[in-house]
Structure 1
Amino acid sequence: EVVPINIIKTGENEKKYIGRVILLRNITPFKELDFAKTNFIATISHELKTPISAIKMGVQLLENQKFGELNEQQKELLKSINEDGQRLLDITGELLNLSQVETGNIRLNIEPCSPKEMVQAAIKNVEKLAEQKNISMITQYEIEDGDAVAADFDKTVWVMNNFLSNAIKHSFQDETILIRVERKESTVSFSITDTGKGIDEKYHRQIFDRYFQVPGEHQNGTGLGLAISKNFIEKQHGEIGVKSSLNQGSTFYFMLPVK
């Protein structure tokens, strides 16, 4: 920690800079606590996944009406339980992903991947979510047919899913989301642009921090998705970022090296 020192000499009014104090602190205990916290989160998340999956399976059996007919109120209740169960499952999955990244246990399967195939896989995963708001997704490719990136297919698709899900949540009804893939020298850039309310520039640096959510947003999220995305992309020697202004939509992007 660097602390600048300014003084006002006797008989004078202006402050004068005379130097700085540099404080060095031993943060080993904090690192050890952080590591213990990460292991605790990983263990709890892993243990929670099994009972949550069992709850969802029970709900599905009831929805199939194998144990009798359901009235409308019961159907609505089951739908709510199923949605909450899925949300819990998503949260535990994100926590597990984060703990893998933090402990260095993340396993990447880097291989030549087709950018088009990754985009198509991500779109397929969020099609139903987009249909609920009548949102169309347009793809724009500015790459050669043989272009490939060095990436982990599944984890990169996970990042695109996160970007697309956020874009759909923050877009208005009947809007359009643009997915653009372009070659930039030795990298391929993937960007997802929405027409939502945008993000104030003062939050751009924090947007990829763990648990951070833009103030005033009333979305049911964990604040972990973008932090995990950042780790996944940087572990693949890529770059991630955002371009956005208030009332002008947002563009989230990442770049991966060409194979």
Structure 2
Amino acid sequence: MRLRKATALTASAVALALAATACGGGDDEGGDGGGGGEIVIGIKFDQPGLGLMNPDGDYVGFDVDVATYIAGELGYEPDQIVFEEAPSPERENLLSRGDVDMIVASYSISEEREERVDFAGPYFLAHQDLLVRADYEVPDEEAINDMTLCSVSGSTSAANVQRDFAPDAALEEYNTYSECLTGLENGAIDALTTDDSILAGYAAQETHQGKFALAGLQLSDEYYGVGLPKDSEDLDAVNEAITAMVEDGSWDQFVEEHFGPAGYEPEPAPEIGARP
């Protein structure tokens, strides 16, 4: 499917299409610029602050707002967006199979991934850190080698541990960060390691406040990009949408809403085309 930026002409077409299908099916797959179809976007369902599915079925978080903004710039109304869960190990597969049109899911850009998918952006810069129990201290980076860590299968965080900064650490890999968090709470692991943006979201949850703390280590630079199918024709349009989001102040608004309560202050929005 080719996504197209909305224009006055497409907006008129959308209105006519919606009127014509108000009493009908309207479940076409993959519309052009929102012309009566849907856009399917992969997000995380279990990352507080970034992408979280509430018990009532609503989706909230920074990535959700970014995805909704981009879709709007491409001509899609919120009710034309279908959110699909995008677990870390499956993101490239979801794009290559055509299960989703794009992925906005704390998706760090890497050379290895760029061999299989395209990335628009980046739209966010995070740093890998550790989440530990509140009474647990990590004196320095070297001490990580003596710890049992948990991360998510297929994530850059898991790869970074043994390749870059803690080759002797014991590493447990689960499918979701929520599983890691359970292990951290019951003492089965010493730390959950992933991006500080994700960790801040968990630490700020009402049920976790006071239990966990970030170690405050900047172990890597993680540039979040919007994942697109390889050789996508929509790369420029998505980059334009990200630029508009930053320039009109929406990016700052999303940051304050979702990260402000955690006391987490992220880096300024990175330049389009920046890479690790």
Q: TM-score normalised to the size of structure 2?
A: 0.24
Q: Counting helix residues as a fraction of each chain, which structure ranks higher?
A: 1
The structure number with the bigger radius of gyration is 1
- More contact order relative to length (CA 8 Å, sep ≥ 6): 2
What TM-score do you get using the length of structure 1 for normalisation? Answer: 0.25
